[in-house]
Structure 1
Amino acid sequence: MRTSRRSLLSAAAAAAALAVATVVVPGAASAASPVVPRQERAVSGRPSFPVGADVSGPRGGLFGPTSVWRQDVRSAPVNPNSRALVAGLHEQVSTLYNGVAAFNVSNYSTNVYSVAATQPRVDVAWDNCQKKTYTPKGLLGPGGQFTAVPIPDDAVPARGSDGQLTIYSAATDQLWEFWQAKRVGGRWQACWGGRIDRVSTSPGYFSDGFGVAATGLSFSAGAVGIKDVQAGSIDHALSLQVVWPAKWTTFSWPAQRSDGFSTDPNAIPEGLRFRLDPSVDVEALNLTPIAKMVARAAQKYGFIVTDKAGAVALTAESGSAVKAATGVDPWTKLMGGTPHYEVMRGFPWERLQALPMNYGKP
């Protein structure tokens, strides 16, 4: 199910520049994502990466404990309009795609490369696929968002037309996210993206109109990670994409902007937080193991509305980078034979609670 990719410098952004119990999936421990040195990747037809590169993201997410993605919301107050907001979200889930929210793991997700300090850096070319009439300030050149990126030559963008790719360097405490990334004529290029410096202390969003999500929030931060599921616990907030977000002029922190369009007075603003009612007994729910992990995370850290899409959707880290390195997609085992479109069946969307607008804003 496709994540809609709008003009990422939306009207709001153009004007500016111009964030318990554990269920372990059976067998998951043996499916841990590898850190595979070059010599062990000398398999015909498969990419090779620098020594120490890891073809998946770190467990527990990319950002530190002070970020919006790690904020405990169990004791947060409830939005006065929570009932209407939750009803609207529940309607969006129940009326589309057989009443099951999407679990975007096969397409419209992102691959995450945790690169070593020794990874060579290259400049990423700007593919002006949106036909802008100007070069966005700060994108290219010295210190630019696309300058000196430690991206492996044979990195694999996630499947789908969004072609998203995330590069994380713990050594330099930096994160890059790219939209429509591809390698052309031996050189990397992307249509849009951005860089976050000092990731460990960052609030978890991009500034100045950069970043691949419509809200400017980190796209990869709220994804269900491979290592999260292997460990049996998601220890960060989750990105939530909705179908009919409120018009772009109304959004809630930590969103930095919006591409919403609905003028319904009860439309969900991008950036709004939801949590699963902490009184819900997750163990009693008839859910897949992954959906139970999502439910526990939603009770403690909640969902953050990051984007619009053709269906209510969660994002999972793509397994295609691991498959490119090892020949095996880890999600095949982690989902235990459940199709990706059935992973979230039975999730109690009607038991969510909306948090106040701009909750947690300093």
Structure 2
Amino acid sequence: MSFLIRNIAFCGALLVLAACSPSPSEQANEDAPPKAWRPFAADSPWNTPIPESPEIDAQSKALISDFAGGGSLYINIAEWSVPVYYIDMDETPKHEVFDLYPGQYGRGFELPREIPIPDGAQSARPEGGLGYIAIVDKARNLEWDMRQAHQRDDGRWFTGFGAITNLRGMGVSPPWNEVEQPNLAASALASGFPLTAGLIRVEEINSGRIPHALMFAYPGAATGGFTSPASTALPVAESGDVAAQTGMPLGARIQLDPAFDVEGSALSREGKIIARALQDYGAYLGESAGGNVLFAESAPTQLKAWDGTLASGELQAVFTPEMMAKHFRLIAMGDVLPGPPPD
């Protein structure tokens, strides 16, 4: 994960945030209201199924081969993922939250600020980690995201970057070059995605269906470029090895071929739910990482719920490099834009 950590550290200083094709009954079910809570508008890119015969990108074969070269597909849960705290803002303590990098913050985090953070909240912060934390008020449709978030011994909270998202919206920010300041297009992720976008959530697995696109990361991501629904990226000069620039740009959307036999596979019940989401909605590239990964929510109550239900290696035996090279495809991308230049 050292490559990702170096990118995130710079980002904090610069970026300122079942079988074959679905049967008619399954296809009809896509139009039914989701059983679990889902952020963003119904016509958001995150909530829009991939059409039956989508346009495939001309570079699909080469870029998917590069993706598969990152190894089997895992799920980040206990480490490197996002703890999500669902709150009632009226009943949650407010904290000032200080900046690790003065002046580097996103939309909604202007000073003075008071951020609702529940008592006992902890960010995902393994040794040298990213410190993600997302706080969600479902009733108000608001989300507070932070990276490198932590509470010091004196009780004060700090963050490397923070932003607020309206969950009634599209879950997509304008590109960095179309806003007054690049940080207004940024988020806690290098892509500008809200932290809850693309997460695997406990209530979705319990309901039997994930009604939205997932987010993925892999080692070869071309972090110097992005395509919608991403809104920003790390500058090429600061985004790692030159070889990484030949991969998919942030915002790229991959899909598990609907012809892949999910029901006949060796996947667990939970694995099949995730696989169907990858067929129906696909996954958007949101970060660079040390391996091929999806992300599941990871607050303490969520980790307890995952225990015995969902494991990091849930997909590993089936989603091998050979399988992914054969059965994944890259949906046609729009214009690929560069990230903001270094200061």
User: TM class by shorter-chain length?
Assistant: 0.7 to 0.9
Partner of 2:133: 165
Whether 1:232 aligns to 2:232 is: no
User: Which residue identity lines up with residue 331 of structure 2 in the other structure?
Assistant: L
Whether 1:331 aligns to 2:316 is: no
Partner of 2:229: 254
Partner of 2:86: 114
* Mean Cα deviation higher: 184-193 or 200-209: 200-209
Equivalenced residues, count:
301
Q: Unaligned regions of 5+ residues in structure 1, if any?
A: 23-57, 94-99, 324-328
Does the C-alpha gap of structure 1 residues 278 and 78 become closer, same or farther in structure 2, counting only changes over 3 Å? same
1:273 touches 1:304 (CA, 8 Å); kept in 2? yes
CA shift, 1:183, in A, is 1.9
Q: Determine the C-alpha separation between the residues in 1 that align with 2:288 and 2:96.
A: 27
Partner of 2:77: 105
Does the C-alpha gap of structure 1 residues 144 and 7 become closer, same or farther in structure 2, counting only changes over 3 Å? farther
Q: What is the 5 A alignment of 1:240-319?
A: 240-248=216-224, 250-259=225-234, 260-261=239-240, 263-264=242-243, 266-319=246-299
- CA RMSD in angstroms, aligned pairs only: 3.2
CA shift, 1:334, in A, is 1.1
Partner of 1:221: 197
1:181 touches 1:189 (CA, 8 Å); kept in 2? yes
Q: Determine the C-alpha separation between the residues in 2 that align with 1:135 and 1:87.
A: 40
Question: TM (normalized to structure 1)?
Answer: 0.73
Q: Determine the C-alpha separation between the residues in 2 that align with 1:244 and 1:274.
A: 14
1:105 touches 1:319 (CA, 8 Å); kept in 2? no
2:104 touches 2:161 (CA, 8 Å); kept in 1? no
Residue number among 165, 171, 175 corresponding to 1:203 in the alignment: 171
Does the C-alpha gap of structure 1 residues 217 and 139 become closer, same or farther in structure 2, counting only changes over 3 Å? closer
CA shift, 1:60, in A, is 4.5
Residue number among 147, 164, 169 corresponding to 1:179 in the alignment: 147
2:106 touches 2:163 (CA, 8 Å); kept in 1? no
Q: What is the 5 A alignment of 1:147-162?
A: 147-160=113-126, 161-162=129-130
| Deviations 1:194-238 (CA, angstroms, capped at 9, x unpaired) | 111x31123345862431111111222211111111112111111
1:244 touches 1:261 (CA, 8 Å); kept in 2? no
User: Which residue identity lines up with residue 310 of structure 1 in the other structure?
Assistant: G
Does the C-alpha gap of structure 1 residues 227 and 205 become closer, same or farther in structure 2, counting only changes over 3 Å? farther
Whether 1:192 aligns to 2:161 is: yes
CA shift, 1:244, in A, is 1.3
Specify which structure has the higher proportion of strand: 2
Q: What is the 5 A alignment of 1:7-26?
A: 7-8=7-8, 14=14
1:290 touches 1:343 (CA, 8 Å); kept in 2? no
Q: Determine the C-alpha separation between the residues in 2 that align with 1:199 and 1:270.
A: 21
Q: Determine the C-alpha separation between the residues in 2 that align with 1:246 and 1:7.
A: 12
Q: Determine the C-alpha separation between the residues in 2 that align with 1:332 and 1:145.
A: 39
Does the C-alpha gap of structure 1 residues 124 and 102 become closer, same or farther in structure 2, counting only changes over 3 Å? farther
Question: TM (normalized to structure 2)?
Answer: 0.77
Q: Determine the C-alpha separation between the residues in 1 that align with 2:206 and 2:80.
A: 21
Does the C-alpha gap of structure 1 residues 173 and 342 become closer, same or farther in structure 2, counting only changes over 3 Å? closer
1:236 touches 1:301 (CA, 8 Å); kept in 2? yes
| Deviations 1:262-313 (CA, angstroms, capped at 9, x unpaired) | 5457521111000111222211122232221111001111010000011111
Q: What is the 5 A alignment of 1:346-361?
A: 346-347=318-319, 348-350=323-325, 351-358=327-334
User: Which residue identity lines up with residue 224 of structure 1 in the other structure?
Assistant: I
Does the C-alpha gap of structure 1 residues 343 and 60 become closer, same or farther in structure 2, counting only changes over 3 Å? farther
| Deviations 1:44-99 (CA, angstroms, capped at 9, x unpaired) | xxxxxxxxxxxxxx934322212221111133211111111111111122xxxxxx
CA shift, 1:168, in A, is 0.8
2:217 touches 2:286 (CA, 8 Å); kept in 1? yes
User: Which residue identity lines up with residue 309 of structure 1 in the other structure?
Assistant: A
Q: Determine the C-alpha separation between the residues in 2 that align with 1:179 and 1:91.
A: 28
Q: Determine the C-alpha separation between the residues in 2 that align with 1:91 and 1:246.
A: 15
Does the C-alpha gap of structure 1 residues 215 and 258 become closer, same or farther in structure 2, counting only changes over 3 Å? same
Work out the percentage of aligned pairs sharing the same amino acid.
Answer: 24
CA shift, 1:182, in A, is 1.8
What secondary structure is seen at the aligned counterpart in 1 of 2:249? coil
What secondary structure is seen at the aligned counterpart in 1 of 2:255? strand
What secondary structure is seen at the aligned counterpart in 1 of 2:65? helix
Q: Determine the C-alpha separation between the residues in 1 that align with 2:202 and 2:248.
A: 29
